Structure 1
Amino acid sequence: MCEAKWDKLLKIKTSGRDNSHSDQYRFPYEPTPYRVLERLANSGLIRKGDTLLDYGTGKGRVCFYLSYQTRCKTVGIEYDERIYKAAQENQEHAVSGAKTSFTMTCAENYPVPLEATKFYFFNPFSVEILQKVLARIQESYYEKPREIELFFYYPSDEYVSYLMTQEYLMFEDEIDCRDLFEGNDGREKILIFQML
């Protein structure tokens, strides 16, 4: 199903790229393609009892789609007030709006809820901010040990280098998405890590 059809089915508006407030630390809004989200939802890794945090949620596509398809609860974290308002507007009409919530704050300041079990990143910010976010997730994990999985779609080389050297993270698997697009781009994948 094409992007516009999914947006229509979910009763949301999430298309388009927005780099009006991006800088060297916070990257432009660009929604994850629905084809990629479909593959993640079909992996069976996200279930009804999970709470998924989407960092740099933008207009909320990941939250609305995954809560619709897997029945999980989702929380979107967004720092840009204008884009955050678009996510809130989407929530008012979205099919899965009741299972979704949004918080406007910088990701590194967000206290991770103890029920959060899944974490999604589509290169929302620099490695410097990622380090602080992962420290927050770790704090939450130590406070309440549980199975935690982190998903990194289209990871940058900097992300991969950093993630692979962290002792508290174990590389679990990857979901190959190269066949969904032309050009055989090696970054078209979702890397999955487990917190130890």
Structure 2
Amino acid sequence: MKEDKNETRWDKLLRIRTMGRDDSNADQYRYPYEPTPYSVLERLANTGLIRKGNTLLDYGCGKGRVDFFLSYQTRCQSVGIEYDERIYEKAVENRETAAASGRVSFELANAENFVVSEKVDCIYFFNPFSLEILQKVISRILDSYYEKPRTIQMFFYYPSDEYISYLMTVGELMFTDEIDCRDLFPGNDPRERILIFELPVDE
């Protein structure tokens, strides 16, 4: 119950509607919309890893919760991309009322075709799609990284074993830390964590 209260409280404070799951357009490649719990986002915001000067890219942003919350809490710029038109429209509607709307934008796009802006230096994933799509997405991110070398931090919430095994094989990626979130929920689920990978820049 406490978690539900927190969810409602933040939605209200941010003046958005992001609760509930939606799997109407999910398939084997693109997974259902399910928002990251606010308690997890609070923990991420409190690390200080995302700051005012950062630009966050949120893959499979759904109704925009991650974008609104993190730009509100950390004052970063945030770009959410969503392929499902109906859910994307909900994010755009939220932007009309949201507390942090000035720093948030959304794009209707397929992740694997999306060209990553050179401003992006933080990226968030909550299992939005299959491993096949993730591989294409990482290669797009690497293109952007090589065009303009900069430190890029990637945050993977509730990562699958498949994701982790693959990420560990990407030569450029460095595993830097994890944020343990098991204590936030019952059941001691080992996947309740955010893994942090970095594309570093040689000084």
**Scaled by the length of structure 2, what TM-score is found?**
0.96
How many Å separate the matches in 1 of 2:37 and 2:102? Answer: 23
Match of 1:192 in 2: 196
Report the Cα distance in structure 2 between the residues aligned to 1:127 and 1:112, rounded to whole angstroms: 19
- Structure 2 unaligned blocks of 5 or more: none
Structure-2 separation of matches of 1:148 and 1:15: 29
What does 1:60-139 align with in structure 2 at a 5 Å threshold?
60-139=64-143
What is the percentage of aligned positions where both structures have the same residue? 68
What is the Cα deviation at residue 189 of structure 1?
0.1
2:158 match: 154
The DSSP-based 3-state class of the residue aligned with 1:39 is helix
1:50-105 CA-partner distances (Å, limit 9, x unpaired) = 00000000000000000000000000000000000000000000000110000001
> Is structure 2 residue 30 aligned with structure 1 residue 29?
no
For residues 94 and 45 of structure 2, the distance between their equivalents in structure 1, rounded to whole angstroms, comes to 20
Pick from 53, 60, 63: which aligns with 2:57?
A: 53
Following superposition, the deviation at residue 195 of structure 1 comes to 1.1
- For residues 90 and 156 of structure 2, the distance between their equivalents in structure 1, rounded to whole angstroms, comes to 24
Counterpart CA distance in 1 for 2:176 and 2:27 is 31
Whether 1:172 aligns to 2:168 is no
TM superposition shift of 1:133? 0.6
Task: Give the AA of the match of 2:179.
Answer: I
State the shift of 1:194 in Å.
0.5
Candidates 11, 17, 39, aligned match of 2:21? 17
Whole-angstrom CA distance in 1 between matches of 2:46 and 2:155:
14
Q: Which letter maps to 1:31? A: P
Counterparts of 2:87 and 2:183, CA distance in 1: 31
Task: Give 1:182's match in structure 2, choosing from 179, 182, 186.
Answer: 186
CA–CA distance in 2 between the matches of 1:131 and 1:109?
12
How big is the shift at 1:121?
0.1
| Deviations, residues 9-40 of structure 1 (Å, cap 9, x unaligned) | 00000000000000000000000000000000
Q: Residue 164 of structure 1: CA displacement?
A: 1.1
TM-score when normalising by structure 1: 0.99
Alpha-carbon distance in 2 for matches of 1:3, 1:48: 24
1:180 alignment partner AA: L
- Which residues of structure 1 form unaligned runs of 5+? none
